[in-house]
Structure 1
Amino acid sequence: MKLLLFGATGRVGSHILRHALADGHEATILVRSADKLPQPLPENVRVLTGNVLNEQDVKLAMQGVDAVISALGTDGTTTLSEGMPLILHAMKQEGVSRIVTVGTAGILQSRVSPDLLRYQSSESRQKLTRAAEEHHKAYLLLQQSGLDWTIVCPTYLPDGSYTGNYRVEADYLPADGMQISVPDTAEFTYRQLGSSDYLRVRVGIAY
């Protein structure tokens, strides 16, 4: 498989990249700076220096790929909500239908207020909602895209260790889920490339 990965230098994205390379996939990564990438990189990695907010950079990165994973974060910016339309447009231009993204548990449905998302309800413990609002905008764009999307929505995300033992639930955070490690989140996200279990679904993940 030829995979395009956004956010490859981030906490979750760097683990996803390791999974893809271990399985022998060809990976294209678009990064602002290659300095944060592990060296040396194998031959099946194509590194493009650019910006997800630049339409031409995204279009170039999208050429010849089979699927997309976005592990873009928010980090106090609007990069996610501004970059997602460019990613989706390039996918449609290139005939790429599958995209898996990493979101946040805040955009899952609330159990206490089913008409609201978690970040909009009393279920959320987060006082600041800016990051969830960014992910909400990306979710709405994916919903309207007509593409085969999956949003993996982790709750509190410490670095932690890999366990391979976690719970997932469509559209909701698993009951009493408190945290999930970065390595376990990355593994589940990566596995969705070969799965149709959660097409056009948000998936909560927690221990």
Structure 2
Amino acid sequence: MNLLILGATGRVGQAATAQAITDGHSVTVLVRSPDKFGTLGVAPTTVVQGDACREEDVARALHGADAVLSALGTDGGTVLTDSLRILIDLMSRRPGPQRIVTIGTAGILDSKGYPGLLRYESPESRRSSVRAAEEHRRAWELLSRSPLDWTIVCPTYLPLGERTGVYRVEADTLPDGGASISVADTADFAYRQLQSADYIRKRVGIAY
């Protein structure tokens, strides 16, 4: 399988990239600083140096990809949505697979205790700032209006930890009592969704 991974030098992105390479997939990464892969232990098939918010760079990296995993964060601005607009436009215009998995936040899942609200809008959220959650919400809205086969993986607190492959997931809501999920297991689930149709056009809460 030919995969494009964005945000591959971040915590979740690195873990997903390493897992995909180890499993024998052809992996292209689009990164600003290729030297950051020195700590990965494995090498991507293709490294495209560029900016995920530049259409020409994304188009080069996307060429031949069967699926896309975006592990980009909000980065204090609009990198997430700017990049996603480009991806949606490019993927929508090309023939072939339109599968994309992105990493979101549990804040954009439906609140169980406060129907009609998202978790970040309800008292369930203890964060003082909602800026990041609002950027993730805008990304979800962009995907919802697109024709792509998307899945948004929505972890709660993300500590470091080993990949166990054992966790709970739930469409559109956070599993009851879910308080954390490791970076490695978040990457594991997101990576597995690239070849799964279980949660097409769904947000997915993930926790232990």
Give the TM-score category using the shorter length.
over 0.9
Give the conservation status (yes or no) of the 8 Å contact 2:92–2:147.
no
Give the conservation status (yes or no) of the 8 Å contact 2:18–2:42.
no
Aligned residues: 206
Give the conservation status (yes or no) of the 8 Å contact 1:51–1:57.
yes
Q: Secondary structure at the match of 1:77?
A: coil
Amino acid at match of 2:118: L
Whole-Å Cα distance in 2 between the matches of residues 162 and 63 of structure 1?
30
Whole-Å Cα distance in 1 between the matches of residues 60 and 120 of structure 2?
35
User: Which position in structure 2 is the counterpart of 1:49?
Assistant: 49
User: Which position in structure 2 is the counterpart of 1:110?
Assistant: 111
C-alpha distance after superposition, 1:58-87 (max 9, x if no partner): 111111111100000112121001111001
Whether 1:162 and 2:163 are equivalent positions in the alignment is yes
C-alpha distance after superposition, 1:141-193 (max 9, x if no partner): 01010110000000000112222221100000000100000001000110101
> Percent of aligned pairs with the same residue?
56
Distance 1:41 1:166, change over 3 A: closer
Q: Secondary structure at the match of 2:4?
A: strand
Give the conservation status (yes or no) of the 8 Å contact 1:111–1:123.
no
Q: CA deviation at 1:41?
A: 5.0
Whether 1:200 and 2:201 are equivalent positions in the alignment is yes
Task: Show structure 1 runs of 5+ residues with no match.
Answer: none
Q: CA deviation at 1:31?
A: 0.3
Whole-Å Cα distance in 2 between the matches of residues 162 and 59 of structure 1?
32
Whole-Å Cα distance in 2 between the matches of residues 93 and 194 of structure 1?
21
Task: Show structure 2 runs of 5+ residues with no match.
Answer: none
TM-score (norm 2): 0.95
User: Which position in structure 2 is the counterpart of 1:29?
Assistant: 29
1:1-207 equivalences under 5 Å are: 1-38=1-38, 42=43, 45-95=45-95, 96-207=97-208
Whole-Å Cα distance in 2 between the matches of residues 202 and 159 of structure 1?
22
Q: CA deviation at 1:36?
A: 0.7
Whole-Å Cα distance in 2 between the matches of residues 176 and 88 of structure 1?
34
Whole-Å Cα distance in 2 between the matches of residues 92 and 66 of structure 1?
13
Amino acid at match of 1:202: R
C-alpha distance after superposition, 1:97-143 (max 9, x if no partner): 10011100000001122211111111111111111111101000010
C-alpha distance after superposition, 1:22-71 (max 9, x if no partner): 111111110011111137754x6110010011011111111111110000
Whole-Å Cα distance in 2 between the matches of residues 84 and 202 of structure 1?
16
Computed over aligned residues only, the root mean square deviation of the Cα atoms, in angstroms, reads 1.3
TM-score (norm 1): 0.96
Whole-Å Cα distance in 2 between the matches of residues 92 and 33 of structure 1?
28
Give the conservation status (yes or no) of the 8 Å contact 2:21–2:42.
no
